[in-house]
Amino acid sequence: MTTATANQQYFTITLSYWAFTLTDGALRMLVLLFFHGLGYSPLELASLFILYEFFGILTNLYGGWLATRIGLTTSLHIGISLQILALGMLCVSPSMLNVVYVMAAQALSGVAKDLNKMSAKSSIKLLVNDNQQTLLFRWIALLTGSKNTIKGLGFFLGGLLMATLDFRNSLVALMIFLSLTLVLSWLFLEPQKTTYKPKFRETLSKSRNINYLSAARFFLFGSRDIWFVIALPVFLQSQLQWEYLQVGSFMAGWIIFYGVVQAAAPIITRNKQQNPPNGATLTRWAWLLAIVPAIIASGLWLEWDATLTLIIGLLVYGAIFAINSSVHSYLIVDYAERDSVSADVGFYYMANAAGRLVGTLFSGLIYQQYGLSACLIASMLMVVSSCLLTRQLKG
Higher pLDDT, 321 or 330: 321
Ranges 122-136, 217-231, 242-256, most confident: 217-231
Residue 380 lies in a domain: yes
pLDDT digits (tens, 9 = 90+) for 364-380: 889 888 889 999 999 99
Q: What's the mean pLDDT when you consider all of the chain?
A: 81
What length is written for the chain?
Answer: 395
Asked if 235 and 136 touch (Cβ cutoff 8 Å), the reply is no
pLDDT digits (tens, 9 = 90+) for 199-217: 545 555 567 888 899 999 9
CA dihedral 19, 22, 28, 32 (to 10 degrees): -150
Residue 196 lies in a domain: no
**Rounded Cα–Cα distance for residues 259 and 17 (Å):** 14
In this prediction, residue 192 has a pLDDT band, given cuts at 50, 70 and 90, of: low
**Rounded Cα–Cα distance for residues 62 and 82 (Å):** 16
Separation in Å, CA 121 to CA 212, 244, 261: 20, 33, 19
Asked if 73 and 191 touch (Cβ cutoff 8 Å), the reply is yes
Handedness of CA 22, 288, 46, 310 (dihedral sign): negative
Residue 395 lies in a domain: no
In this prediction, residue 272 has a pLDDT band, given cuts at 50, 70 and 90, of: very low
| Number of domain units in the chain | 1
Asked if 390 and 212 touch (Cβ cutoff 8 Å), the reply is yes
Question: What proportion of the chain, given as a percentage, has pLDDT over 90?
Answer: 19
E strand or H helix at 11: helix 3-37
Mean pLDDT of the region 145-162:
81
- Supply the pLDDT for residue 65: 67
Residue 276 lies in a domain: yes
Higher pLDDT, 176 or 67: 176
- Supply the pLDDT for residue 216: 93
The yes-or-no verdict on residue 273 having pLDDT over 60 is no
33-37, 134-138, 158-162: which range is least confident on average?
Answer: 134-138
The yes-or-no verdict on residue 54 having pLDDT over 90 is no
Handedness of CA 191, 194, 195, 201 (dihedral sign): negative
Residue of 229, 182, 175, 201 whose CA lies nearest to 353: 229
In this prediction, residue 4 has a pLDDT band, given cuts at 50, 70 and 90, of: very low
Separation in Å, CA 291 to CA 276, 297, 368: 25, 10, 24
Residue 95 lies in a domain: yes
Higher pLDDT, 202 or 126: 126
Higher pLDDT, 155 or 383: 383
- Supply the pLDDT for residue 218: 94
pTM > 0.95: yes or no:
no
Ranges 113-127, 140-154, 293-307, most confident: 293-307
92 DSSP 8-state letter: S
Determine the structural domain holding residue 370 and report its residue range. Answer: 3-191+201-390
DSSP per residue over 153-172, as a string?
HHHHHHHHHHHHS-HHHHHH
**Rounded Cα–Cα distance for residues 256 and 61 (Å):** 29
Residue 292 lies in a domain: yes
**Rounded Cα–Cα distance for residues 337 and 172 (Å):** 40
Q: What is the CATH number of the domain that holds 156?
A: 1.20.1250.20
pLDDT digits (tens, 9 = 90+) for 322-370: 999 888 888 887 887 766 666 777 788 788 888 988 898 888 889 888 8
Residue 139 lies in a domain: yes
In this prediction, residue 193 has a pLDDT band, given cuts at 50, 70 and 90, of: low
